[in-house]
């Protein structure tokens, strides 16, 4: 090496000497290890929704469950997940003396239409995959079972409206202790 030359730095290749009067070559940011320029998020295609781990919304028609439904739909959209809308019909009871069935016997197709109409009133589901499930039995147990069967990312329910539920136990309280996924309670 001559005394007039500077030794190249370690870890970086030496740059060739540049002739006077010529513009410097443009650098590619990705080639230099720098991040690429950001793209406009609106121009990117929407991510495909994963239906394997949905956000589950428990719905019973109450104002707090409507809020929970809107929250769950927004959460599903943000996470790129599907929404599983679950409505639990309390168990069918029979009158002991006559054997007469007491309880709702609504058609599942009518129930699904009603639930989707309820969702449309609180959220625009244009780019959201929604599945509807109706079950019969204990609301807390059936919601937990539906979330387990679907491998849900989260279970969203409305807060109880009556004071005695806070003292005697409630669906959200039972779910918080027994569900195998995060439980979000919306007022």
**Per-residue model confidence (pLDDT) at position 106:** 62
Domain-embedded: residue 159: yes
Does any domain span residue 76?
A: yes
Asked if pLDDT for residue 145 goes beyond 90, the answer is: yes
Cα–Cα distance, 34 to 37 (Å, whole number) = 9
Identify whether 43 is part of a domain: no
Find the DSSP H helices in 43-162: 63-79, 108-122, 139-150
Average pLDDT (148-170) is 80
Domain count, the chain: 1
Could you tell me the residue range of the domain that residue 71 belongs to? 50-186
CB-hemisphere CA count at 13 Å for 147? 25
Q: How confident is the model at residue 110 (pLDDT cuts 50, 70, 90)?
A: confident
Q: Has residue 90 been placed in a domain? A: yes
Beta strands 101-102 and 93-94, pairing class: antiparallel
pTM above 0.95, yes or no: no
Asked if the structure places residue 2 within a domain, the reply is no
What is the CATH classification number for the domain harbouring 91?
A: 3.40.50.620
Q: Which residues share a beta bridge with 55?
A: 83, 154
Cα distance between residue 3 and residue 15, in whole Å: 18
8 in a structural domain: no
Confidence of residue 22 (pLDDT cuts 50, 70, 90): low
pLDDT at 109 (0 to 100): 84
**Confidence band of 44 (pLDDT split at 50, 70, 90):** very low
Residue 164 in domain: yes
Is residue 36 included in any domain, yes or no? Answer: no
Report the pLDDT value the prediction gives residue 103, as an integer from 0 to 100: 56
């Amino acid at each position: 090496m001559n005394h007039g030359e500077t030794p190249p730095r370690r870890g970086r290749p030496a740059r060739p000497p540049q002739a006077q009067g010529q513009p410097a070559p443009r650098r590619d940011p990705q080639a230099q290890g720098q991040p690429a320029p950001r793209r406009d998020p609106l121009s990117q295609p929407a991510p495909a929704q994963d239906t394997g781990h949905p956000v589950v919304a428990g719905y019973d028609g109450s104002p707090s469950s409507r809020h929970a439904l809107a929250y769950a739909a927004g959460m599903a959209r943000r996470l790129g997940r599907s929404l599983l809308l679950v409505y639990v019909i309390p168990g069918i009871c029979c009158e002991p003396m006559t054997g007469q069935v007491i309880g709702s016997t609504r058609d599942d197709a009518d129930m699904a239409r009603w639930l989707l109409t309820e969702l449309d009133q609180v959220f625009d589901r244009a780019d959201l995959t929604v599945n509807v499930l109706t079950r019969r039995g204990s609301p807390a147990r059936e919601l937990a079972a539906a979330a387990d069967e679907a491998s849900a990312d989260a279970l969203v329910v409305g807060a109880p409206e009556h004071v005695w539920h806070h003292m005697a136990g409630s669906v959200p309280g039972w779910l918080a202790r027994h569900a195998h996924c995060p439980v979000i309670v919306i007022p």
